[in-house]
Each structure stands twice: as C-alpha cells, then as structure tokens.
C-alpha cells in the first residue's frame, strides 16, 4: 500500500506480533529507502523489536522430514539450524524431497551443509540407528 506523505513514498506493512498472547497488529511505516519511520498498534517495546526483525528478515526455521534408505524408520526428522527466508520454504522442501539419508545418524548431525547456499545447515533432530 503506497501513500504519499510530505513528498516521500511510504509503504505500510502489517505484522501480527507473536511475542505474547496479545497478538497486537502492528503497522510498520517504511519510507522508500527501506528505513522504518514508525510503529503503531503495539502495546510494548517487544513488539517494536519483533516487527523490526520481521521487516528486515522474516526468517523461519524449517522443520521437516527426509526419506531414508536401509532403515526400519521411514523418515528422519530434520530442521534448519537457523531461520531461512520464509519465501524459500517451499523451494527448500522441494530440494529436500529428493534426498535420502542412510543410517547411522545422530541427533544434531549435519545432513546438508549450507542448504541451497543460504549459509544454513540442515541437521537431524532424531537419530537413525543401524
């Protein structure tokens, strides 16, 4: 949504804060340089911090499963060890869907280093015993 205000082109982003059960709907006003002008709708500073983080980098930890080979367990649960951009979640799922992992695997073991060049590793969250 674009508005003109005192000659600057401004964007407004709506973010639902997840820091406490209030779930404030925070409106973040951003100018055309990408600088945040103001926050409104938040009842506390935590909300500002969260909203700022979401505007700069809306990251999500991806938790999913990988198919296995040579194992009684059919799936190994995995997660990214850091958040990845939420826009990349589906692509990451497609990438991971083509992989297969063999035992033994320990919790925390890196399954894919630097997943899709995002500087984030995919690690096992459970073990795959022999």
Residues 70-129 touching other proteins, rule: CB under 8 A, are 74-75, 77, 79, 86, 89-91, 93-95, 97-98, 107, 125-127
What token pair was written down for 51?
A: 């909203």
Least gap, CB of 5 to other proteins (angstroms): 27
Residue of 75, 73, 78, 71 lying closest to 130 (CA atoms):
71
Q: Is 20 in the site for other proteins (CB under 8 A)?
A: yes
What token pair was written down for 120?
A: 């984030």
What token pair was written down for 113?
A: 């280093």
Pairing type for strands 63-68 and 100-101 reads parallel
Cis ω for the linkage preceding 34 (within 30 of 0): no
String of contacts with other proteins for each residue 21-60, x by CB under 8 A:
xxx-------------------x----------------x
Give the footprint of other proteins on this chain (CB under 8 A): 16-18, 20-23, 43, 60-65, 67, 74-75, 77, 79, 86, 89-91, 93-95, 97-98, 107, 125-127
């Amino acid at each position: 949504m674009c508005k003109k205000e005192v000659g600057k082109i401004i964007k407004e982003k709506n973010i639902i804060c997840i820091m406490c059960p209030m779930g404030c709907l925070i409106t973040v006003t951003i100018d055309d340089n990408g600088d945040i002008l103001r926050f409104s709708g938040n009842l506390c500073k935590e909300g500002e911090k969260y909203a700022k983080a979401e505007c700069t980098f809306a990251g999500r930890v991806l938790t999913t499963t990988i198919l296995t080979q040579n194992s009684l367990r059919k799936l190994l649960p995995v997660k990214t060890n850091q958040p990845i951009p939420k826009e990349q979640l589906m692509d990451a799922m497609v990438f991971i869907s083509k992989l297969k992992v063999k035992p033994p695997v320990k919790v925390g073991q890196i399954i894919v280093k630097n997943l899709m060049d995002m500087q984030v590793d995919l690690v096992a969250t459970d073990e795959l015993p022999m």
